[in-house]
């Protein structure tokens, strides 16, 4: 068992990229490293069904191990390991604003990005930023 050392843990935009996520192991690790009363802030792309993304998204935007975490599974494991849920928030509107700002910055550097990475890569990222993972 690890020594409980931390008051807080943050997992920001990562859990959905872990191959074949094991939420039980994740929850157990968080429980083991946090001091009593410690808190976890978790942010990620959530879906109702793990791995359920369109062929376009899977083929061109997020191929590989992006799973869209299933919120109900993560919450169940957290509760099972003794955590309390303080808040669940849908931050999609805020994230959409962030994506649009990133797209504007990408557009302002279009020529440089295409020169360095190629037009296909530029277009894939542009699609990701403006269309999302539909």
Residue of 106 and 19 predicted with greater confidence: 106
Residue of 48 and 9 predicted with greater confidence: 9
Are 38 and 8 a contacting pair, CB within 8 Å?
Answer: yes
Q: Is the pLDDT of residue 88 over 70?
A: yes
Do 82 and 39 fall within a single domain? yes
pTM above 0.85, yes or no: no
Do 31 and 49 fall within a single domain? yes
Distances (CA, A) of 71 to 16, 21, 68: 11, 12, 9
Identify the sign of the CA torsion 42, 62, 23, 70.
Answer: positive
Q: What is the mean pLDDT of the chain?
A: 83
Q: 89, 104, 126: which is the final residue of a domain?
A: 89
Do 20 and 67 fall within a single domain? yes
* Number of Cβ atoms within 10 Å of the Cβ of 13: 11
Number of structural domains found in the chain: 2
- CA 102 to mean position of chain CA atoms: 17
Q: Is the pLDDT of residue 40 over 90?
A: yes
Domain interval for residue 100: 92-134
């Amino acid at each position: 068992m690890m020594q409980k050392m931390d008051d807080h843990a943050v997992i920001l935009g990562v859990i959905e990229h872990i191959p074949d996520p094991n939420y039980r192991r994740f929850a157990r690790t968080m429980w083991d490293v946090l001091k009593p009363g410690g808190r976890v802030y978790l942010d990620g792309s959530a879906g109702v069904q793990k791995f359920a993304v369109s062929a376009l998204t899977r083929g061109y935007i997020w191929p590989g191990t992006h799973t869209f975490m299933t919120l109900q599974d993560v919450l169940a494991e957290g509760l099972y390991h003794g955590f309390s849920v303080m808040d669940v928030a849908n931050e999609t509107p805020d994230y959409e604003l962030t994506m649009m700002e990133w797209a504007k910055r990408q557009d302002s550097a279009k020529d440089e990005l295409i020169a360095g990475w190629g037009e296909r890569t530029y277009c894939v990222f542009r699609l990701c930023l403006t269309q999302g993972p539909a």
